Structure formats: structure tokens, C-alpha cells
């Protein structure tokens, strides 16, 4: 159900009255810098976010997305989303430290309780979720670091989570740029996107876990075939990775926050350097990998991504829209297209549900939105 425009307008007016003269909270993950004094040029829903590659055509026919309904609403600071066998969903609350089970058909919610050891603050808290072989994995902010834990779920315990067991500790934490997305790849290894916590030098330091994409076994050991011996680091030179997904050929894609200029969608390969802080966007500099697509930060601020029907679908926070990036193999085959622009507010997570279905999580209650009645929610989307 579309969010009524009048509700959003009333809430926006109230916020403007309360914070007149203050800076906007919409500049997601732009620490250490002031927002631009003027907004960058805006792209229309069908115009490119960056120039198309030579010889590419416009976006192919099809690939439209429609909202078929609201699965559930009334969620507080939702962040991570994972699908259980059978089709139910688990959703994490970043600030309330809880995991909730959502019936995939009716939207009924069952609280699984708080995850011990989570210390929310700024952009940190209980973030990404993944499910594998009777375990629920969670990326969270603890007292001293960001870490990945896993908890037994199911079996004879009913709707109860087991005690958290550390998988990987020592990921740098900060008020901002904590990364937080985790997912199992086609190789059955666990991947994690991390941030450089505002300390830009961490992204180029291969000894640090900050500003990286990590690859590990389900127990947290360096995965076989990793590019750097004895290390979970898979790629580096990232600013803040909150979206990872694989296409049908097993290629890894990642969405990344830029600073004040370019947000990025990258094709990620083992051992490659993605440039931050030396390069932002398509810099064309030797030794760094350029993004496949880039956006002005006002139009994206990307978080979760998913792959469905030949395209990457990317949720935008500050941009308040869902981007479609059509792909042909390892290249972009057309211009990015925007959908749902400013209809549901900030968009945090998108998850492929199979059969051309997407789940989309809004993020109006994360302290940077203007929540209205029903926020936040999980939407059902159909790609056709």
C-alpha cells in the first residue's frame, strides 16, 4: 500500500518547524565533511546516473517493478533481512537489538528477543543477518568492536535463539561507517562488507578489517583461495559497504557509500583495490578498480542490493528510491533506472525472494527519516 503523500507532507512540515535552522539529517554516512552547499544535478527515473559504457543500449524491455502489497509494518530501525527455509523472514532492529520473525504469507510478527552484547550507537547496532544450516548469523556492534556472531535457531528450541557464539571479532567500530551487510555466497563461504569508521587510512591497510569485503568459512576462518595468505580480506579500498549480492554466474557485486560526490556499484574481484580514499567514483587511475555505475550522493546513499531478472536492484537511503542496474555479464547493459522515488521514504534493504519477487525494507525510523504512521515496513515487490 503506497504511503499517502499527505501524511509525508505533514510530517515533513512538522520536522521543518522543529529543526528550522539546523542541518539536514539526510546525509547518510558522510562523516567528517559538511554536506554540499547545493544539491547536485538530479537524474530523472529513466536518465543515466552516469554515462553508459560505449556501445551499450538503453535499458532492455521489461525489468519493471511494482509494489504488490505490504507484508508487515510497525518495525523500529529495521536493518538486516534474511529468509528462512519455508519462506518466513528474520528482520533485525539496529537500535532495539532484537530479531523478529515475520510470517512470509500473513506478515504476523514473533519476537525472538534481544541479542546479548549489542551496543547501539550512531550507525552501529544489530545489523546484517544471514541464515545457514540451523544457524542465524548477525553482524553487530559490541563494546569494543564490530563482530560477527552466530546463534542456533530451530530444532527443538522453537522460536528461541541460542546464545551468540563469536565467528569473527576485531572489525573496527565507529559512530559512522560500520558496514554491516553479511551474506553466504554460492561457494558457501560467508562474506561481510565493512566500513572504515571515518578513519580513511584503514581502507588501504590490508592488515585492518575496516573498509573491506571479507570472506571466511562459516566458522570465521580465512576461506580457501583468499588472495592474501592467512587473511579474511577479500578486497580492499572500500569506504562503507552495506550491499552485497551475486548474479547467476556467481559474480560478486557490492554497493558503497561515497563521500560527497559519487556513490558506487562495484564488480568485486579477489585481491582488487577499489580506491578509497585515493579515488572516488570513476577516476580512471592505475591500480584502482572503477565502479560499474555511480550516482550523485543525493540520489542514492546505497544500502542493500539484490540480483533479480538480469539486474542489480539497489536500495537508496538519502535518495529514497530503488535503482535498477541492468547487466550483461560483467558489464552494465543500459542506464540505471529509478523506481518508487520518494514514495516510501528511505530504503534500507532489498532481498531477492525467488520467482521475480523482491522484499524491500524501509528505514524511516533510523533517526534520519521522518516516520509516519506504519513505518517501518516490509514491502512485497514483483519484477516483470
pTM: 0.87
- Looking at residues 340-361, what average pLDDT do you find? 96
> What H or E segment, with its residue span, contains residue 314?
strand 311-316
The rounded distance, in Å, linking the Cα atoms of 172 and 141 is 9
* Model confidence pLDDT, tens digit, residues 229-278: 999 999 999 999 999 999 999 999 999 999 999 999 999 999 999 999 99
Q: Which range is least confidently modeled, 48-57, 207-216, 373-382? A: 48-57
Give the pLDDT of residue 63.
Answer: 86
* Model confidence pLDDT, tens digit, residues 8-66: 343 443 333 333 333 333 445 444 333 332 333 333 333 334 433 322 333 344 589 99
The rounded distance, in Å, linking the Cα atoms of 384 and 382 is 6
Q: Which of 265, 257, 242 is nearest to 193 (CA)?
A: 242
Give the pLDDT of residue 300.
Answer: 98
Give the pLDDT of residue 21.
Answer: 33
Residue 225: pLDDT over 70: yes
For the chain, helix (H) and strand (E) counts, in that order, are 1, 25
Please provide the average confidence, as pLDDT, over all residues in the chain.
87
Q: Is 7 helix (H, G, I), strand (E, B) or coil?
A: helix
Q: Is 15 helix (H, G, I), strand (E, B) or coil?
A: helix
The rounded distance, in Å, linking the Cα atoms of 302 and 276 is 16
Give the pLDDT of residue 35.
Answer: 33
* Model confidence pLDDT, tens digit, residues 86-142: 999 999 999 999 999 999 999 999 999 999 999 999 999 999 999 999 999 999 999
Amino acid at each position: 500500500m503506497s504511503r499517502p503523500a499527505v501524511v509525508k507532507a505533514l510530517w515533513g512540515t512538522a520536522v521543518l518547524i522543529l529543526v528550522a535552522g539546523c542541518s539536514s539529517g539526510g546525509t547518510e554516512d558522510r562523516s567528517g565533511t559538511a554536506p554540499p552547499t547545493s544539491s547536485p544535478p538530479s537524474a530523472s527515473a529513466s536518465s543515466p546516473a552516469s554515462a553508459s559504457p560505449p556501445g551499450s543500449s538503453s535499458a532492455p524491455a521489461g525489468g519493471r517493478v511494482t509494489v504488490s502489497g505490504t507484508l508487515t509494518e510497525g518495525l523500529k530501525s529495521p536493518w538486516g533481512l534474511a529468509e528462512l527455509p519455508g519462506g518466513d523472514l528474520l528482520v533485525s532492529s539496529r537500535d532495539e537489538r532484537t530479531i523478529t520473525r515475520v510470517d512470509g504469507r500473513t506478515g504476523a510478527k514473533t519476537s525472538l528477543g534481544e541479542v546479548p552484547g549489542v551496543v547501539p550507537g550512531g550507525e552501529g547496532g544489530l545489523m546484517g543477518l544471514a541464515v545457514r544450516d540451523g544457524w542465524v548469523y548477525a553482524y553487530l556492534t559490541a563494546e569494543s568492536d564490530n563482530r560477527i556472531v552466530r546463534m542456533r535457531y530451530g530444532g527443538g528450541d522453537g522460536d528461541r535463539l541460542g546464545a551468540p557464539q563469536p565467528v569473527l571479532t576485531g572489525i573496527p567500530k565507529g559512530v559512522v561507517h560500520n558496514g554491516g551487510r553479511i551474506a553466504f555466497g554460492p561457494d558457501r563461504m560467508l562474506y561481510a562488507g565493512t566500513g572504515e569508521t571515518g578513519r580513511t587510512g584503514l581502507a588501504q591497510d590490508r592488515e585492518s578489517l575496516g573498509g573491506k569485503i571479507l570472506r571466511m568459512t562459516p566458522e570465521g576462518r580465512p576461506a580457501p583461495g583468499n588472495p592474501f595468505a592467512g587473511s579474511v580480506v577479500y578486497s580492499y579500498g572500500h569506504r562503507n559497504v552495506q550491499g552485497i549480492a551475486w548474479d547467476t554466474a556467481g559474480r560478486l557485486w557490492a554497493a558503497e557509500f561515497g563521500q560527497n560526490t559519487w556513490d558506487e556499484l562495484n564488480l568485486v574481484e579477489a585481491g582488487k583495490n577499489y580506491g578509497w580514499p585515493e579515488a572516488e567514483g570513476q577516476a580512471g587511475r592505475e591500480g584502482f578498480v572503477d565502479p560499474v555505475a555511480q550516482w550523485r550522493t543525493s540520489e542514492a546513499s546505497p544500502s542493500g542490493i539484490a540480483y533479480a531478472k538480469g539486474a542489480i536492484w539497489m536500495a537508496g537511503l538519502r535518495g529514497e528510491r530503488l535503482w535498477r542496474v541492468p547487466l550483461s555479464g560483467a558489464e552494465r547493459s543500459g542506464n540505471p533506472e529509478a523506481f518508487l522515488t520518494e514514495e516510501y521514504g528511505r530504503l534500507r534493504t532489498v532481498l531477492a525472494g525467488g520467482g521475480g519477487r523482491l522484499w524491500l525494507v524501509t528505514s524511516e525510523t533510523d533517526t534520519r527519516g521522518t516516520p509516519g504512521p506504519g513505518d517501518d515496513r516490509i514491502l512485497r515487490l514483483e519484477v516483470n
